[in-house]
Chain A
């Protein structure tokens, strides 16, 4: 019975994502409006802070599975494929609507390249317990996975891995760092 509630909840997220509306699964996981969030497409920044330098990481590790001829599409800032980090609101696994174009572009690319695989790496900020955050990061990665499937990707191309709060894009405590750490990174693997 409880399992059904869970499925219904997951289904709700899928439908919301399809519409790219702002909503979340469960009353307490709603988005908080008015939060100062980084702009769409912004990555962790290669030399900002002392975190995992996810900007560089995601351009090297994150594109290993992409044909070298195609890579420029993923780094051209005018191409929606260059958005390869989705940022989330506090305690939320709902994908903000400003990422809709990027999700569609990646879903289309995956459907047109069935040999390409994508790993979705989920992350949280440092608040809360570590293992719970691993689960929360997983939920974010699953949420992106469902959205990509709706945009044409196949489940078999996608996998998830959550680091919780263990690999922050930026070290430090404060909303500025936190908003960059609540994210899912796209890692195209061979």
Chain B
């Protein structure tokens, strides 16, 4: 059985990442640490890839191993514990791997393809059946080895988990650092694991609320202009850097959320006197008011079918999550647990909400099942914020505030956590689409 990854897909994502880098290289990459992991993970080993004596600029097997390990769904064998380093199915002594309790083994190689890139092939082996389950071949440009490694991890992930892997996806986030000229805010886009960070927009004034367009080509966000005394909500095209101003009205221009078809934004405006949620049609520039209430209404999130918008409102006294139809009708309250609930994000399948719940122990990330309304707290607090589902719905990225202002991910069962940190403050993560 032979599957081939289409080259064009791989090239597409890599080219976009590179054009971003060209805008302005950001300084430090986020560092990833796995802080908690679950039992019952798939045991697997990825042997170092053979490169016919050449030194590859990237350790493909290690990057793919880190991808799988970070999900908590795989128990990846350390390289130091490997009994051998085969690169071809014929070289594998299955007995040895069975003794090391490795059920699954990936072996592969990468060789120069003569045009500056690499031809990569690899096999996924079943150690007990002593045979190859799948073998793959893909081509990567000279600077695409990291994406190639993520692609390998995606293929392995999908084989065992049955969902698409998110290792080619990207995240956006805001950093704030004290620099010689004063505070500096940056909107940064990086690979999902913090690599290849690129500054999309930078300012001495606050930047907020990045939101990915569904196709991953644009970011909506809020930028303040302190000297002019205003904020603006804009959409920036990542390939060209072009900025389109959506609203710079008096008062709030905030909380952008893309409709699933990418044709509209839900946003919060207060120019008529009170924070209300509006729908802005990106094709016609038409603005439609959706809420009309003396309370605060903000933080819209669209259901994946585009029919509903959930949002935060304090119309009942404390902030809670409500849901309305896309035209603003049929408002109903969704959350009753804890003291208050804010900042909801719909899961990609529409079955769950991630939100920030306030209770006696502070602000923590919670996942609410929309069928049973059961709530599971998945973070420790005390000041967690900005939950955002991974594009395959299996994990949530969020921000931690307080002592360490950093990002974290957690699986939706709360079992496995990773930390993404760098010097200075990192916040407001937004997880982009799958990327392939």
Binding site for B on A (CB under 8 A): 2-10, 26-29, 50, 52, 61, 119, 121, 126-132, 134-136, 138-139, 142, 159-164, 166-167, 173, 187, 189
Contact = CB atoms under 8 A, between A and B. Distances in A.
Contacts of B358: 128
B204 to A, nearest CB: 11
A50 B178 contact: yes
15 contacts: A6-B293, A6-B294, A9-B294, A50-B178, A52-B183, A119-B229, A126-B401, A128-B342, A131-B312, A131-B343, A134-B252, A159-B250, A166-B208, A166-B224, A173-B401
Interface in B272-330: 273-275, 292-296, 298-299, 312, 314-315, 317-319
A129 B312 contact: yes
Contacts of A187: 229
Contacts of A136: 296
A57 B423 CA distance: 26
A186 to B, nearest CB: 12
Nearest to B231: A161
Contact of B206 (A7, A127, A132, A163): A163
B428 A130 contact: yes
B342 A2 contact: no
Interface of B: 178, 183, 206, 208-209, 224, 226-227, 229-231, 250-252, 254-255, 268, 270, 273-275, 292-296, 298-299, 312, 314-315, 317-319, 342-343, 356, 358, 363, 383, 385-386, 401-403, 428
Given A167-B206, A189-B229, A138 B403 contact: no
Contacts of B231: 161
B270 to A, nearest CB: 6
Nearest to A173: B402
Contacts of B229: 119, 121, 159, 161, 187, 189
Contacts of B270: 135, 138
A166 B206 contact: yes
Contacts of A121: 229
A119 B401 CA distance: 29
Contacts, number: 114
Contacts of B312: 129, 131-132
B275 A130 contact: no
A119 B317 CA distance: 28
B383 A132 contact: no
A113 B132 CA distance: 84
B252 A135 contact: yes
Given A3-B292, A6-B294, A138-B251, 20 more contacts: A5-B294, A8-B294, A28-B318, A126-B383, A126-B401, A129-B299, A129-B342, A129-B343, A131-B343, A132-B296, A134-B252, A134-B298, A135-B270, A160-B251, A162-B252, A164-B208, A167-B226, A173-B401, A173-B402, A189-B229
A2 B356 contact: no
Contacts of B254: 131, 134-135
Contact of B343 (A27, A132, A163): A132
B410 to A, nearest CB: 17
A52 B403 CA distance: 18
A135 B314 CA distance: 11
Contacts of B314: 26, 28
Contacts of A160: 250-251
Contacts of A50: 178
Given A3-B292, A163-B224, A131 B401 contact: no
Contacts of A159: 229, 250
Contacts of B383: 126-127, 173
A130 B208 contact: yes
Nearest to B209: A131
A123 to B, nearest CB: 11
B178 A127 contact: no
B386 A127 contact: no
Contact of A128 (B206, B227, B319): B319
A134 B253 CA distance: 10
Contacts of A10: 294
A61 B229 CA distance: 11
Contacts of A142: 273
Contacts of A5: 293-294
